[in-house]
């Protein structure tokens, strides 16, 4: 069969695939996938990469994954703190890595620390709220 290339970013992944892989990709919930007309690839959340890889491999596709160069990584393979770059923030990366349920627990723990009324940073709180809203929107449309 054909090869599917998945380029893994901070919070999203670009799936470059042949037309025959379309049905396998569409097994992901509709809110988790969107077609990027300009890049001619599917965009999926970071947390869906493993599931899609298993689905594609079970249907006989070869899956190659890559990560954009240039972001320093720790020993565990994750980008180091403060190096997320692009449109994703540290909070987006947290929600992508932890999933909605666990990230919501982290949100509640971070709330008293980051809230501006309690001496926290407004920008950090805005990032956290925006990431939570995005994750809930993805979950609700899936």
> 95 and 61 in one domain?
no
> 95 and 62 in one domain?
no
> 98 and 47 in one domain?
no
pLDDT tens, residue by residue, 37-51: 999 999 998 888 888
Q: 104 Cβ partners below 8 Å, 6+ apart?
A: 132
> 60 and 14 in one domain?
yes
Sheet containing 12-16, strands listed edge to edge, beginning at the edge strand earlier in sequence: 34-36, 41-45, 12-16, 3-8, 62-66
Structurally, the chain folds into a number of domains equal to 2
Which of 31, 66, 101 terminates a domain? The answer is: 66
Residue span of the structural domain in which 40 resides: 3-66
Angstrom distances, CA of residue 29 to CA of 43, 88, 108, 111, 119 = 12, 21, 27, 30, 40
Pairwise pLDDT comparison (106 vs 120), residue with the higher score: 106
Global pTM exceeds 0.75: no
Which of 66, 100, 117 terminates a domain? The answer is: 66
Q: Would 16 be classed as within a structural domain?
A: yes
Q: How confident is the model at residue 70 (pLDDT cuts 50, 70, 90)?
A: low
pLDDT tens, residue by residue, 3-17: 999 998 878 899 999
pLDDT tens, residue by residue, 86-108: 457 888 888 888 888 888 999 99
Residue 23 sits in a domain whose CATH number is 3.40.1170.30
């Amino acid at each position: 069969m054909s090869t599917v290339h998945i380029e893994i970013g901070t919070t999203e992944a670009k799936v470059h695939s042949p037309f025959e892989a379309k049905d396998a990709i569409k097994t992901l919930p509709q809110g988790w996938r969107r077609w990027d007309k300009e890049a001619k690839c599917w965009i999926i959340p970071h947390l869906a990469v493993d599931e899609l890889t298993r689905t594609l491999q079970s249907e006989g596709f070869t899956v190659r994954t890559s990560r954009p160069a240039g972001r320093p990584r720790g020993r565990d393979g994750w980008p180091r703190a403060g190096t997320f770059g692009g449109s994703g923030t540290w909070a987006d990366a947290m929600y992508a890595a932890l999933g909605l349920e666990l990230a919501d627990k982290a949100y509640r723990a971070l709330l008293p620390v980051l809230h501006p009324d309690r001496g926290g940073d407004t920008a950090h709180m805005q990032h956290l709220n925006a990431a939570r809203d995005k994750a809930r929107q993805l979950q609700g449309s899936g």
